[in-house]
Amino acid sequence: MSYCLNPNCPNPENLPYGERCQSCGSQLLLRDRYRVVKALGQGGFGATFLANDQALPGEPSCVIKQLRPSGTAPHIIQMARELFEREAVTLGKIGNHPQVPRLLDYFEEREQFYLVQEYISGSTLQQEVKRTGVFSEVGVKQFLSELLPLLEYIHEYKVIHRDIKPANIIRRAQDSRLVLIDFGAVTNQVNQASVNQSEHTALTAYAIGTPGFAPPEQMAMRPVYASDIYALGITCIYLLTGKSPKDLAYNPTTGEIMWEHHVQVSNHLVDVLRKMLDVSVRNRYQTAEEVLRALELEPYLDSLSKSLISQPNGGVKERTTHRLEDSGIYSSNPSGVSGLSVAQVAAAIRARRAKIAEGAGITHAGGTRQKVLTAKSTTLASNCSGSQGQKSPVMRQLDSPNLIAAYLKGRRDFALHKLNLLNLQGANLSGTNFHSSQLERVNLQGANLHNSDFGRASLNRANLRDANLSKAYLNNADLEAADLRGADLSYAYLQNANLRGANLCGANLTGAKISEEQLALAKTNWMTIRPNGKRGLL
């Protein structure tokens, strides 16, 4: 089907591949390349549509957002246009993250503004809860371990999302990763001090977020980074109860929502959620990192072991991905870990931590605590001491010709693969997911790895000389002793990557997300381009 984008069209549905709308005569092919297939929804100032990009091989799907204000007054039009442009700028700035839709295009045509984004196929968490039931404590901790690092990333770019809620978080069908969508309400202004009422423009009043999920200071048009933490906390309550904020009672004295009697979780998680949901900004967690630190696993081993036990009646206990990155305990089927004792879970956690401490100095940046970071698309089986014969899954293995052939056929997901010692010199593997894969001593010299995901991958002693790693995602990757001479690492995300002994002589690190402490562990020379764009020794 071809769908007409004329807001006044009486019958926008048309036959496939038509050139003009049969009802209003409008041209159906947008910018001579985008054919709209169907409407996805409409908000206060924009309507979204599913489209195919006919200018690319295979006509991949994309999402088109059309500026479509609910009012016609000049100030409403101007306000909507500013919000629209703000969303485009934000996506262009932070869209390199694998959990944020990429901005593909932004243009004006026939006096209409359009924003084209990557299409994320999957279900929202709101749909997931309605379909399969509420989350367990383990599921919520996993959710937080995936969303909090993303929130930290967004806030580092001085962006406040302002509309975090289950309907704006999609579990991507391709790899089960959580993706945050709808940046139409973002703001780059952090109002730490009181704001004069005259400064409350129609724009700030309009982009206020969703009532119930937005905290009091955001409703008062004074959002801060902690406002997103509150919304994330409310989202956790929805995941645990299936109830929206409007369905929960409020304490008339304090203004806090009354949720605790609706959930059965550990006291530790209750304490964390309480602080995330404190109506006082001063008493709330100020950063995503603070929440991650509070969610250390040891304090609630008892409840974790109970939560891992399979329970009847569906719900989140039967989900195919229960992952806890910090512990290294994973299960593709929760029933596979039923009966684990607290001692067994604790033993696995300690074994995992000992392995991390042993493996190439992963006390990044001078011995700081290993953070709980994003749980990724792959699902590992538990490997607990005394787990009665349970086996860890064998990593999938590919040789060089088969990997390249699969890529040429359109495959982009090679997460959790064993690719050690492969010769991929000069290969074009841009936009590929190698998350958590083993790539030790792999030869990727001169390869095109632009915008690829190497999060948590092992690239120990890999040959990445002269490789294109621009905008690559290398969060928590092990690059110890890797050869990165002359590599293009511009705007790469290297936070928490292990660079001990890595050779960065002549590498381009312009705009890269990397710390001075990490660089101090690597080899550099006068040809190394620092993140600020200047050459010289570090």
How many other CB atoms are there within 10 angstroms of residue 494's CB atom?
A: 26
Q: If you average pLDDT over residues 287-310, what whole number do you get? A: 60
For residues 110 and 150, state if they share a domain: no
Helix (H, G, I), strand (E, B) or coil at 257: strand
**Could you count the other beta carbons within 10 Å of the beta carbon of residue 312?**
7
Assess contact for 136 and 323: CB atoms under 8 A: no
What type of residue sits at position 347? A
Highest mean pLDDT among 297-301, 348-352, 430-434: 430-434
pLDDT digits (tens, 9 = 90+) for 478-513: 999 999 999 999 999 998 999 999 999 999 999 999
Domain boundary among 255, 278, 300: 300
Please say if the pLDDT value at position 353 is more than 70: no
CATH number at residue 262: 1.10.510.10
Same domain? 108 vs 127? no
- Rounded to whole angstroms, the Cα distance separating 479 from 161 reads 32
pLDDT band at residue 536, thresholds of 50, 70 and 90? Answer: low
Is residue 90 located within the same domain as residue 44? yes
pLDDT tens digits, one per residue of 220-277: 888 899 999 999 999 999 999 999 999 999 888 888 899 999 999 989 999 999 999 9
Distant-in-sequence, close-in-space partners of 280: CB < 8 Å, separation ≥ 6: none
The residue among 315, 322, 355, 353 whose CA lies nearest residue 337 is 322
d(CA 367, CA 294) in angstroms, rounded, equals: 18
Q: Where are the alpha helices (DSSP H) in 242-300?
A: 267-276, 288-294
Q: Does residue 150 form part of some domain?
A: yes
Number of domains the chain is built from: 3
pLDDT of residue 263: 92
The CATH number of residue 7's host domain is: 3.30.200.20
Average pLDDT value for residue range 127-140: 92
**Assigned domain for 481 exists:** yes
pLDDT of residue 420: 93
Q: Does any domain span residue 143?
A: yes
Domain membership flag for residue 79: yes
% residues pLDDT > 90 (the chain): 42
Q: Say what the pLDDT of residue 368 is.
A: 37
Encoded amino acid at 419, one letter:
L
Residue 305: enclosing H or E segment and its boundaries? helix 301-308
Residue 380 in any domain: the answer is no
- Is there a single domain that holds both residue 127 and residue 111? no
What's the whole-number mean pLDDT along residues 82-91?
A: 80
Instruction: Work out the pLDDT band at 175, boundaries 50, 70, 90.
Output: confident
Look at residue 298 and tell me whether its pLDDT is greater than 50.
Answer: no
pLDDT at 87: 78
| pLDDT 10s digits, 198-236 | 334 444 444 467 888 988 888 888 889 999 999 999 999
| Pair (105, 166) in one structural domain | no
Which position has the higher pLDDT, 470 or 390? 470
Whether residue 69 sits in one domain with residue 163? no
- 157 lies in the same domain as 51: no
pLDDT of residue 103: 87
Could you tell me if 95 and 186 lie in one domain?
Answer: no
Q: Could you tell me if residue 321 is inside a domain?
A: no
User: pLDDT confidence of 174, banded at 50, 70, 90?
Assistant: confident
Q: How confident is the model at residue 187 (pLDDT cuts 50, 70, 90)?
A: low
Same-domain status, 133 and 269: yes
pLDDT tens-digit profile of 13-40? 998 888 899 999 988 888 889 999 999 8
- Residue 315 located in a structural domain: no
Average pLDDT over all residues of the chain: 78
* Of the residues 66, 92, 118, the one at which a domain ends: 118
Name the 3-class secondary structure at 125.
helix
Residue 424's pLDDT band (cuts 50, 70, 90): very high
Catalytic residues: 163
* pLDDT, tens only, 44-79: 567 889 999 998 888 999 999 888 766 666 776 677
pLDDT of residue 247: 92
- Packing angle between helix 301-308 and helix 137-156, nearest 10 degrees? 120
pLDDT greater than 90 at residue 93:
no
The CATH code of the domain that includes 489 is 2.160.20.80
Q: Are residues 76 and 175 in the same domain?
A: no
Q: Are residues 138 and 278 part of one domain?
A: yes
In the numeric block, the tokens 């684990």 are attached to 340
Task: Indicate whether 85 and 105 sit together in one domain.
Answer: yes
* Domain around 71: 2-118
Q: Is residue 54 part of a domain?
A: yes
Last residue of a domain, one of 94, 118, 142: 118
